[in-house]
Amino acid sequence: MNTALSPTIALTLDLIRQPSVTPFDADCQRIMIDRLTAIGFTIERMRFGDVDNFWARRGTTGPLFAFAGHTDVVPTGPVERWSVPPFEPSIENGILTGRGAADMKGSLAAMVVACERFVAAHPNHKGSIAFLITADEEGVATDGTVKVVETLEARQEKITWCLVGEPSSTTLVGDVIKNGRRGSLGGVLTVRGRQGHVAYPHLASNPIHNLAPALTELVNEVWDEGNAFFPATSFQVSNINAGTGANNVIPGELQAVFNFRFSTELTESILRQRTEAILDKHGLDYHIDWKLSGHPFLTAEGDLVSAAVNSIRRITGRETTLSTTGGTSDGRFIAPTGAQVLELGPVNKTIHQVNECVAVADLDTLTALYEDILLQLLAS
């Protein structure tokens, strides 16, 4: 190991070298487990389906502070477009490039090193520290954090504070932290018509034409106005498919894929009811397969938010912005347990892209932030 590298950067490099494309962990969790075991964590491996997860805990009493994150990464995309092999990380001019550098192996390394430093200084800290780590965040997310949380809930093991290492920052590390996320409700809409010849439309029923007025109404509907913490709920169509490929055949069926990103002003059931009411009004013969990916959640205030804001101000000298924008995260599975949930991680500018990268200095700053948050909440 290059002794010039900080412990956080050295561990980040080790983790990136593992080709842990979702839902496979490669060897990331073993690397983390070895480090955590050495500082007194008890490890519980939890495998569900083909997914490796682990729950690590140091301490048996409350309050319980948990770091949450994922070792899986998205596919690399065209390897030839990378400036370096994506699983052979490189540092040049203070920038670390490699798949998972920002999302989120850098955060995982910062969490581990922050804990090592905190435990060394406070071996008899208050309460407990835990890690909830999955390899199923970037995929379908059915056998990862959601299953671990179900296990913890079944035995009444309650998380007080949860810090998720998702890349929340926009320009500078700590400039934005996520104190909530919008809900995500998807649907696959099938509209049934009657196939026929385009020259004889009176003998057919065109599902494209039938849907068009209803779709216009759905697109223009004001679902809510949002609130102080969330933007207004949005409705977006991502795919529409119909037709046989021939230009003289009226299709017999149309399929449209859509998604709501919704605020705490609405519920899943209200969105479903209002959507179906619009479709019913237009007399469509249809069916919707609904899928709820997560309810909206919000940690408006509390010890965790205060600790994070204070740490960012003290260590970086900047004021942070609380935000609920962006996609979903595994925080959506943890927040319903009653835990305060916050996301704080590196700059997200290159996540999921070719040449994903992060500033080396940012990961060392992130380590200091995590350690300082632990100091505020659990120092003995």
* pLDDT digits 0-9 by tens, 11-45: 999 999 999 999 999 999 999 999 999 999 999 99
How far apart are alpha carbons 335 and 331 in whole angstroms?
6
Task: Decide if pLDDT at 171 tops 60.
Answer: yes
**What is the chain's mean pLDDT, rounded?**
96
How far apart are alpha carbons 225 and 342 in whole angstroms?
24
Task: Decide if pLDDT at 1 tops 70.
Answer: no
Task: Decide if pLDDT at 170 tops 70.
Answer: yes
* pLDDT digits 0-9 by tens, 74-108: 999 999 999 999 999 999 999 999 999 999 999 99
Look at strands 161-164 and 340-343 and give their pairing.
parallel
Is 137 catalytic? The answer is: yes
User: What pLDDT shows up at residue 16?
Assistant: 98
User: What pLDDT shows up at residue 354?
Assistant: 97
Determine contact, residues 177/322, Cβ cutoff 8 Å: yes
Structural tokens at position 290? 């609904």
Catalytic residue chosen out of the listed positions 137, 138, 343, 372: 137
pTM of the model: 0.88
* pLDDT digits 0-9 by tens, 229-282: 999 999 999 999 999 999 999 999 999 999 999 999 999 999 999 999 999 999
Spatial CA neighbour of 192 closest among 236, 242, 235, 237: 242
Catalytic residue chosen out of the listed positions 14, 25, 52, 72: 72
Q: Hey, how many other C-beta atoms are within 10 angstroms of the C-beta on 346?
A: 29
User: What pLDDT shows up at residue 325?
Assistant: 86
Structural tokens at position 10? 């050295």
How far apart are alpha carbons 206 and 212 in whole angstroms?
10
Determine contact, residues 101/358, Cβ cutoff 8 Å: yes
* pLDDT digits 0-9 by tens, 129-143: 999 999 999 988 899
* pLDDT digits 0-9 by tens, 327-351: 788 999 999 999 999 999 999 999 9
C-alpha triplet 311, 316, 321: angle, nearest 5°: 70
Task: Decide if pLDDT at 166 tops 60.
Answer: yes
How many percent of the chain have pLDDT more than 90? 95
Dihedral of CA atoms 336, 337, 340, 344 in degrees, nearest 10, equals -70
User: What pLDDT shows up at residue 75?
Assistant: 96
User: What pLDDT shows up at residue 300?
Assistant: 86
Distances from the Cα of 294 to the Cαs of 142, 239, 262, 300, in angstroms?
Answer: 12, 21, 10, 18
Is 72 catalytic? The answer is: yes
Q: Checking phi first, is residue 331 left (phi over 0); if not, alpha (psi -120 to 50) or beta?
A: alpha
